[in-house]
Structure 1
Amino acid sequence: MNLTVLGATGGIGQEIVRQALASGHRVTAVVRDPARLTVTGAGLEVFRTDLSDPAELRPAVAGRDAVLSGLGARSRKDAGVAARLTRTVLAAMEAEGARRLLVVSAGPVGPEPEGDGFLDRTMRGLVSAALKDVYADLRAMEAELTGSATDWTVVRPPRLQNKPLTGRYRTVVGGFPPGGRFIARADVAHAMLAMIGDPATVKQGVGLAY
């Protein structure tokens, strides 16, 4: 496949690029600072932009089989960046007729897991309160996707870890795995690549966790 990866210098973004190249895909990595991209390999194109102008991004999404985004706030002070940058991406994709888009959100943004116990509900509430601005940004991002013409999928992980790829995790379309508290960034990337061709995930939020 011919893929574009946004936020390609972030933890999930670099994992998407690395795994996609290892699987033989062609990858366009969209970055602000190419020096921060540590992944290399045959089939990789680096495309530099700050995502401020949809017209500038159009060549990076034209003719692609899918666009995968790891864009998002790195801290509370960055709240607002996910929705703002996603609007740029959607405008570029719609101008080019590009359809498939997969993005990273967060578990607490989606529906509460069925059957979760008191501890999990309490932890979820505390995290949501502490990161309310970040989650408000992600909700706004998801609203932008819902109103778009793209075949979007929102992936909602819990707390992210820098651990090796396992390929073993739970996914729930339209929900979240009960008791799911952690997942490695590498496994989020793995799940997103696996969902590209899965019609059950189109225009859906997908919770994933160990």
Structure 2
Amino acid sequence: MKLTVFGATGGIGQEIVRQALTAGHQVTAVARDPARFTVTGAGLEVFRADLGDFAALRPAVAGRDAVLSGLGARSRKDAGVATRLTRTVLGALEAEGVRRLLVVSASPVGPEPEGAGALDRAVCGLLSAALKDVYADLREMEAELARSATDWTVVRPPRLQNKPPTGSYRTVVGGFPPRGRFIARADVAHAMLAMVDDPGTVKQGVGVAY
């Protein structure tokens, strides 16, 4: 497949690129600062672009089978970036007629898992209060996707870890795995690549966790 990855210099984005190249896909990695991008391999194109200009992004997505995005706030002061940049990506996709889009959100933005206990609710409540602006940004990003013409999927992980991929995790379409508190960035990337051609995840939020 021909894939484009936004947020390619981030933890999840770099893993998407690395794993996609290993699987033999052609990958365009979009980066504002290519010097920060360290992944190499056959089939890779690094595309430098201003993510604020959807017209500048059109060549990066034209003719692609799918687009995957790890864009999002890295801290509370970056709240708003997920909606703003995703809106620009959507403009480029819709201009080029590319439909498949997968993005990263967060577990507290989705529904409470079935059978959630008091500890799970307390942890979620504390996170939601501490990162209120970040989660509000992600909710608005998801709303933008729902209004778009794309075949979107929102992947909602819990707390992220920097660990090697295991390929062993749980996913729940339209919900979240019970007692799922952690997942490696590498396994979020693995899950997103597995969902690219899964019709059951189209226009759905998918919880993913160990």
TM-score after normalising by structure 1: 1.00
Distance (whole Å) between structure 2 residues aligned to residue 66 and residue 128 of structure 1: 31
Which amino acid in the other structure matches residue 75 of structure 2?
A: S
Percent sequence identity over matched residues? 85
1:20 alignment partner AA: A
Cα distance in 1 between the residues matched to 2:58 and 2:141: 20
Aligned equivalent of 1:85: 85
Q: Quick one: distance in 1 between partners of 2:57 and 2:182?
A: 33
Alignment match, 1:126: 126
Structure 1 residue ranges, 4+ long, deviating more than 2 angstroms after superposition = none
- Indicate the residue corresponding to 1:156 in structure 2: 156
The equivalent of 1:72 in structure 2 is: 72
Q: Structure 1: 5+ residue runs without aligned partners?
A: none
Letter in 2 for 1:139: R
Indicate if the aligned counterparts of 2:112 and 2:175 stay in contact, CA closer than 8 A.
Answer: yes
Correspondence for 1:138: 138
Distance 2:63 2:6 in 1: 15
Task: Identify the residue that residue 208 of structure 1 maps to in structure 2.
Answer: 208
SS of the equivalent of 1:88 reads: helix
Cα distance in 1 for residues equivalent to 2:113 and 2:165: 24
Deviation for aligned residue 1:85: 0.2
Aligned residue pairs, count: 210
Contact kept, 8 Å, 2:50 with 2:56, in 1: the verdict is: no
Could you tell me how far 1:150 is from its partner in structure 2?
Answer: 0.2
The equivalent of 1:176 in structure 2 is 176
CA distance in 2, matches of 1:37, 1:17: 10
Residue identity in the other structure for 1:147: R
CA contact (8 A) 2:58 2:92 kept: yes
| CA distance in structure 2 between the partners assigned to 1:52 and 1:181 by the alignment | 33
- Taking structure 2 as the reference length, the TM-score comes to 1.00
Deviations 1:170-207 (A, max 9, x none): 00000000000000000000000000000000000000
Gaps of 5+ in 2: none
Distance 1:74 1:45 in 2: 25
- The answer to whether the 8 Å contact 2:102/2:154 transfers is yes
Q: Give the aligned CA root-mean-square deviation in angstroms.
A: 0.4
Q: Measure the CA separation in 1 of the matches of 2:37 and 2:92.
A: 23
Cα distance, 1:50 vs. partner? Answer: 2.3
Report SS of the residue matched to 1:28.
strand
Tell me whether 1:190 sits opposite 2:203 in the alignment.
no
Structure 2: which amino acid aligns with 1:24?
Answer: G
How far does residue 113 in structure 1 lie from its aligned partner after superposition? 0.3
Distance 1:197 1:31 in 2: 25
Q: What is the rounded CA distance, in whole Å, between the counterparts of 2:58 and 2:167 in structure 1?
A: 33
Is 1:6 equivalent to 2:3 in the alignment? no
- Deviations 1:63-85, CA, capped at 9 Å, x for gaps: 10000000000000000000000
Name the structure 1 match of 2:94. Answer: 94
Letter in 2 for 1:128: S
**Residues 81-121 of structure 1: per-residue CA shift (max 9 Å, x gap):** 00000000000000000000000000000000010110111
